[in-house]
Structure 1
Amino acid sequence: MFTYIVRRLLMLIPVLFGVSIFIFFVMRVVPGDVAQTILGTDATPAALAQLRENFGLNLPLYQQYLNWIGGVLTGDFGESMRTGKAILPDILTRFKLTFELTLIAAVISWIISIPLGIIAATKRNSKTDFGLRIVSLLGVSVPNFALATVIILVLSLYFSYSPPVGYVGFFENPIKNLEIIIIPAIVLGTSMAGAVMRMTRSSILEILRQDFIRTIRAKGAKEKVVIFQHALKNAMIPILTIIGLQIGTLLGGTVIIEQIFSLPGLGQLVLTAITQRDFMVVQGSVLFIAFIFVMINLLVDLLYSYLDPRISYK
């Protein structure tokens, strides 16, 4: 196991290296002059030249990249071209909100999707099954921003309630924090639930066809024991795979929900930096998100061996 973990961690190096090259050069080919954007149209040529020199934009591209990636390797993600503040502390602060939002959304998704997926599988081709499959299809099909808009309209028009604006840390005020987070988390969790529910249903149906399930039933085991102690655990690997992908995607893809609910998360930071052409913030944020994503994939792979003893990593 230890050898496998080390090998996977070493594999992160070329992956993150490729991501860093990609995002660096993509930001350089985006139309527009960052110095002009920062200083405005009235800036003099001398001021523009001075700003480019301050940020090293007058250097060859390969030199700019080496300077940036060299700083990243020492834990220095650089400074924002807009505010002049260090980027990494800002990324970590924003990430706390995005991580909390993603975690609560994932828990809501599991609470909804796994039980409903089990019910749909055990009542295959019944009216209940067809109804739940329609619900899961709606969850997959309806965009989360559309669902968020509908929820806000319903709450404001029929209950005279508007979601609070801003953000308060959990340890500062837990009640206020949950009030801010819970509605966007429900939106994201509902969107996630559709895919997880469909996967749960199909995985359990596949396991229920296996010979060992017939043997367990033949021994007189109760149906609850068959489903929850045997079928569900063996069906969890594909379910866990899609859950891991969803969590990794949400950590870098909550930007629309954060914009709708005015949450200062990591997605909003990246979007603002892109519109302001703040190269350093975009590069650092994307590289950080890529690192988190591959680490989640590693964690999911390690959980496979826990769920299925037949899987071993050497």
Structure 2
Amino acid sequence: MYAYILRRLLMLIPVLFGVSVVIFFTLRIIPGDVAATILGTDATPEALAQLRKDFGLDLPIYEQYLQWMGGVMTGDFGESMRTGKEILPDISSRFAITFELTMLSAFISWIIAIPLGIIAGIKRNSKTDFGVRVVSLLGVSIPNFALATVLILVLALFFSYSPPVGYVGFFEDPITNLQILFLPALVLGTSMAGAVTRMTRSSILEILRLDFIRTIRAKGAKERVVIFQHALRNAMIPILTIIGMQIGVLLGGTVIIEQIFSLPGLGQLVLTGINQRDFTVVQGSVLFIAFVFVMINLIVDILYSYLDPRITYK
């Protein structure tokens, strides 16, 4: 197991290298002058030249990349082109908000999707199964930003309620923190629940057809024991796979929801960096998200061996 974890950690190097190359050179080929965007149209040629020199934009592109990666390897993600402040502390604080939102969304999706998927799998081709499949299909099909907009309108028009604006840390005021994050987490969790429900249903159906389930039933085991102690555990591997993928996607894909609910998360930081042509913020944030995504996949792979002892890593 430890050798496998070490190999996976070593695989981080080429993965993150590839991500860094793609994001760095993609930002550099975007049309427009970064210095002119920052200083404005009234900037003098001398001021533009000085700003390019300050941020190393006058160097060949490969030298810019090597300088940036040299800093990243020592824990220095660079400074914001707008504020001049180090971006790593800002990324860390913004990521904490996005991570909390992601995990709360995942928890909501689990408590919705897994019970519905189990019920649909047990009652295959019944009216209940049909209803669950329709609801899960709607969850997959409706974009989360559309669902968020409709939810805000319904609450405002019929209940005279509007979501809290701003953000309060969990340790500062847990109640206010959950009030702020509940609606965006509900929207994201509902969207996640559709795919997890469908996967849970199909996995349960596949396991219930296997011979060992018939043997357990033939021995007189109660149905809840068959479902929860035997079928669900064996069905959790594909469910865990899609959950891990969705968590990784949410960490980098909450930008629209954060914008709608005015949450100062990592997605909003990336969007602001793109709009302001703040290269260091964007490339540092994307590289950080890629690192977390790969680590989540590693954790999911390790959990496989605990769910199914037949799976071993050498």
Q: TM-score normalized by structure 1? A: 1.00
State the Cα distance separating 1:128 from its structure 2 match: 0.5
Deviations 1:142-180 (A, max 9, x none): 000000001100110111110011100000111111110
1:152 equivalent in alignment to 2:152: yes
Deviations 1:171-199 (A, max 9, x none): 01111111100000000000000000000
Deviations 1:90-112 (A, max 9, x none): 00000010000000000000000
Instruction: Specify the code of the residue in structure 2 equivalent to 1:235.
Output: A
- Once residues 76 and 85 of structure 1 are traced to their aligned partners in structure 2, the CA distance between those partners, rounded to angstroms, is 12
- Once residues 2 and 24 of structure 1 are traced to their aligned partners in structure 2, the CA distance between those partners, rounded to angstroms, is 33
1:31 equivalent in alignment to 2:53: no
Identity among equivalent pairs (%): 82
Runs of 4+ deviating beyond 4 Å: none
- Once residues 8 and 140 of structure 1 are traced to their aligned partners in structure 2, the CA distance between those partners, rounded to angstroms, is 31
- Once residues 32 and 110 of structure 1 are traced to their aligned partners in structure 2, the CA distance between those partners, rounded to angstroms, is 45
Instruction: Specify the code of the residue in structure 2 equivalent to 1:216.
Output: I
- Once residues 162 and 221 of structure 2 are traced to their aligned partners in structure 1, the CA distance between those partners, rounded to angstroms, is 51
Instruction: Specify the code of the residue in structure 2 equivalent to 1:30.
Output: I
- Once residues 31 and 92 of structure 1 are traced to their aligned partners in structure 2, the CA distance between those partners, rounded to angstroms, is 30
- Once residues 65 and 206 of structure 2 are traced to their aligned partners in structure 1, the CA distance between those partners, rounded to angstroms, is 49
Deviations 1:260-281 (A, max 9, x none): 0000000000000001000000
Cross-structure match for 1:290: 290
**Unpaired segments ≥5 residues, structure 2:** none
- Once residues 220 and 185 of structure 2 are traced to their aligned partners in structure 1, the CA distance between those partners, rounded to angstroms, is 42
- Once residues 251 and 58 of structure 1 are traced to their aligned partners in structure 2, the CA distance between those partners, rounded to angstroms, is 34
Cross-structure match for 1:176: 176
Deviations 1:212-254 (A, max 9, x none): 0000000000110000000000000000000000000000100
Instruction: Specify the code of the residue in structure 1 equivalent to 2:20.
Output: S
Cross-structure match for 1:185: 185
- Once residues 261 and 292 of structure 1 are traced to their aligned partners in structure 2, the CA distance between those partners, rounded to angstroms, is 24
Cross-structure match for 2:225: 225
Instruction: Specify the code of the residue in structure 1 equivalent to 2:246.
Output: Q
- Once residues 105 and 195 of structure 1 are traced to their aligned partners in structure 2, the CA distance between those partners, rounded to angstroms, is 14
Q: Secondary structure in 1 aligned to 2:244? A: helix
- Once residues 131 and 171 of structure 2 are traced to their aligned partners in structure 1, the CA distance between those partners, rounded to angstroms, is 41
Deviations 1:42-69 (A, max 9, x none): 0011100000000000000110000000
State the Cα distance separating 1:31 from its structure 2 match: 1.1
**Unpaired segments ≥5 residues, structure 1:** none
State the Cα distance separating 1:32 from its structure 2 match: 1.0
1:67-216 alignment to 2 at 5 Å? 67-216=67-216
Cross-structure match for 1:235: 235
- Once residues 138 and 76 of structure 2 are traced to their aligned partners in structure 1, the CA distance between those partners, rounded to angstroms, is 44
1:62 equivalent in alignment to 2:57: no
State the Cα distance separating 1:139 from its structure 2 match: 0.3
Instruction: Specify the code of the residue in structure 2 equivalent to 1:77.
Output: F
- Once residues 92 and 66 of structure 1 are traced to their aligned partners in structure 2, the CA distance between those partners, rounded to angstroms, is 23
Q: Secondary structure in 1 aligned to 2:214? A: helix
